């Protein structure tokens, strides 16, 4: 049970990091949820896979690693989206800045992928 709680906390931290400010354009702040379409949709898919592992305990190590990779791909997509936003913002004279939420999301995704896979291995697996 303690490993399931540990896994749940790690997964929840990835959700919290997705909910923090990722970018700012003038006075508008964008969190991870604002980047979802189309740039970081794989991050959301990774979070859903992590939730499946947490609820069903189905193939926790493999699913956690796949979820972490999808989250990292989502962060790469968000970074590309931010680059496009910075270019367009520069053309129209808007002040565009990268916020700490994206960096935190990257850090906690790495922690989730490694520590979550270990915690998932320690959880009792369900056989389907």
Element (H, E) at 24: strand 21-25
Higher-scoring residue by pLDDT: 57, 39: 57
Q: Cβ distance 109 to 73 under 8 Å?
A: no
Tell me, yes or no, whether 128 lies in a domain: no
pLDDT tens digits along 76-86? 888 888 888 88
Tell me, yes or no, whether 19 lies in a domain: yes
Tell me, yes or no, whether 127 lies in a domain: no
pLDDT at 69: 94
pLDDT at 37: 65
Higher-scoring residue by pLDDT: 124, 91: 91
Could you give the number of structural domains in the chain?
Answer: 1
pLDDT tens digits along 25-47? 888 888 888 766 676 788 889 99
Show the tokens assigned to 13.
């931290």
pLDDT(126) > 60: no
Tell me, yes or no, whether 64 lies in a domain: yes
Tell me, yes or no, whether 37 lies in a domain: yes
- For residue 60, name the pLDDT band (cuts at 50, 70, 90): confident
Tell me, yes or no, whether 28 lies in a domain: yes
Between CA 39 and CA 75 the distance in angstroms is 8
- Domain region containing 56: 2-122
């Amino acid at each position: 049970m303690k490993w399931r709680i540990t896994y749940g906390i790690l997964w929840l931290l990835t959700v919290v990091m997705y909910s923090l400010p990722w970018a700012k354009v003038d006075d508008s702040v964008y969190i991870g949820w604002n980047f979802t379409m189309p740039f970081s949709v794989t991050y959301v898919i990774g979070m859903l896979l992590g939730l499946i592992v947490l609820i069903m305990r189905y193939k926790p190590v493999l699913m956690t690693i796949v979820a972490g990779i999808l989250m990292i791909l989502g962060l790469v997509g968000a970074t590309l989206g931010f680059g496009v936003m910075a270019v367009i913002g520069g053309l129209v004279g808007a002040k565009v800045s990268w916020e700490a939420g994206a960096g935190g999301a990257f850090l906690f995704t790495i922690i989730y992928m490694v520590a979550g896979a270990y915690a998932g291995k320690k959880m009792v697996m369900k056989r389907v």
